[in-house]
A and B are shown apart, each in its own frame.
Chain A
């Protein structure tokens, strides 16, 4: 298992799942791929299907409609894989803790095993890179 994980951290393929988010984190994630930050230099690639992905990047709060979908998505992901919670909403629901749409939903870590949290509203691209680097360092030992 540990060899597999070590190999995995060399080139992370990321699937980006936007639950009920406000778009900001999603845009910052897309921003990572564009010339100023360009994370493809490090082998990080955004893929179109969860079945090709090593990392599930979740943004937004989990409302009643998204919660079952997120679970389904995680089940389809090849294991071992990582889950990263991007943004305050995913990590702790933020200002949406009291809305009627999420009273049954929990923060992401009650639904899936989360490997890294990147807080911020939205986190800056540098913060997202930092989060991923920390994850890779911790897992790739």
Chain B
């Protein structure tokens, strides 16, 4: 006889740093269904950005998320530069790449620690966070702050890297960090306990990864070969030699492998960037942003982040839309968690490296009845309705559209 119980987790849960709410429906030890409700972190950043100038917005989008705090600005400045097709100086492109890769290193290290913490393996947590500190020291030396770097601006970067300090950066990265990553590679990947705990847990198959359009390490762990740094290069990623890491198992272990091996690639990119760093200006000093739309992206540590900016010729964006990677990775929980045990659920949820503050979107709630007014079905309906209207405006008849879309949309 099956007896289903709903376990509420959150919104203020000691394990997670951020407020979010999971509803796990379990039958005995097995998870039967999962529902996620986020929105506690909503701050209205997209709307706020419309009241700030292009230069100020770069600071604002940094505060979307503390861990991806240079990914959002890179995507944003790419979008603004896309409007005018600005010629950004080479040195600025290299400095962007350096900041982006340092951030990837510290984010992957942070994930590794938290994953250890979620498994109850606090040794990994402490060691990973200890070796994260040298990266933060380098970032502090480059940008002046440990987390919010304020390096990006439309047209270039705000701060130059002092050439005389490059040997110090390289020393920290190659002498302190590289041995640590090597150690983690051995300690995590060859550990029989972790292998027994993580292999075959929370498998996301390749076809599901494609169906759910997951991004970043989550996708690459399922053999879904996407990386926007290679597919559509920006900054200096096409000027350095590196490769995209792929795994095919799709389980939590594969995701850990991806992140550890990506750290080696990041170190490789950093070394090349420091060696090649060209001389010259760091900023093309744009005077004016013309009217138009621009799309910018960046491969954040968690996947591709997209910013869309519309300008009407004034000094402020009229519309600024952000799509964070966790927004796409979230729904894959349905495929990975269902069927697993409760004790595995936490690490499966953590495996996509969810970042809730990136993802917050508005959900309208009828608070008297506690119904979600604008749920998934409603959104699908709205989207289909829009397609229908577009079809009508393109001159298709009702019967043709019904045939194309499968049914009549009212």
Contact = CB atoms under 8 A, between A and B. Distances in A.
A19 interface: yes
3 tightest CB-CB pairs across the interface, nearest first?
Answer: A24-B66, A48-B14, A23-B66
Contact of A122 (B39, B51, B66, B133): B66
A122 B19 CA distance: 19
Contact of B129 (A19, A30, A100, A101): A30
A12 B43 CA distance: 31
B291 interface: no
B17 A23 contact: yes
B17 A27 contact: yes
Given A23-B357, A69-B12, A102 B147 contact: no
Given A35-B126, A65-B42, A99-B43, A27 B148 contact: no
Contact of A36 (B44, B65, B110, B130): B130
Interface in B100-136: 110, 113, 125-126, 129-130, 133
Interface stretch (B56-64, B173-181, B226-234): B56-64
Contact of A22 (B11, B63, B125, B146): B63
B113 to A, nearest CB: 8
B48 interface: yes
Q: How large is the interface on A (under 10, 10 to 19, 20 to 34, 35 or more residues)?
A: 35 or more
Interface in A1-50: 16-28, 30-31, 34-36, 47-49
A16 B13 CA distance: 10
Contact of A34 (B44, B51, B125): B125
Given A34-B130, A101-B43, A24 B148 contact: yes
A12 B338 CA distance: 40
B322 to A, nearest CB: 13
Given A24-B148, A66-B40, A102-B43, A18 B110 contact: no
Interface of A: 16-28, 30-31, 34-36, 47-49, 60-61, 63, 65-66, 69, 73, 95-96, 98-102, 121-122, 124
B134 to A, nearest CB: 10
A27 B111 CA distance: 11
Interface string B1-44: 00000000001101001110000000000000000000111111
Nearest to A120: B145
Contact of B357 (A17, A21, A31): A21
A96 B48 contact: yes
B14 A49 contact: yes
Given A18-B19, A66-B40, A23 B125 contact: no
Contacts of B60: 95
Contact of A23 (B12, B44, B65, B126): B65
Contacts of A25: 66
B336 interface: no
A102 B41 CA distance: 11
B67 interface: yes
A134 B45 CA distance: 34
B69 interface: yes
Contacts of B12: 17, 69, 73
Interface in B66-121: 66-67, 69, 110, 113
Contacts of B47: 99-100
Contacts of B130: 34-36
A115 to B, nearest CB: 21
B337 interface: no
Contacts of A27: 17, 66-67, 110, 147
B355 interface: yes
Interface string B146-161: 1110000000000000
B14 A20 contact: no
A95 B63 contact: yes
B383 to A, nearest CB: 25
A36 B130 CA distance: 6
A96 B17 contact: no
Contact of B18 (A18, A102, A122): A18
A104 to B, nearest CB: 13
A22 B65 CA distance: 5
Nearest to A17: B12
Contacts of B110: 27
A30 B109 CA distance: 14
Contacts of B357: 20-23
21 contacts: A16-B17, A20-B357, A22-B63, A23-B65, A23-B357, A24-B147, A26-B18, A26-B66, A27-B17, A27-B147, A34-B129, A36-B133, A63-B40, A65-B39, A66-B40, A69-B11, A69-B12, A95-B60, A121-B148, A122-B146, A122-B147
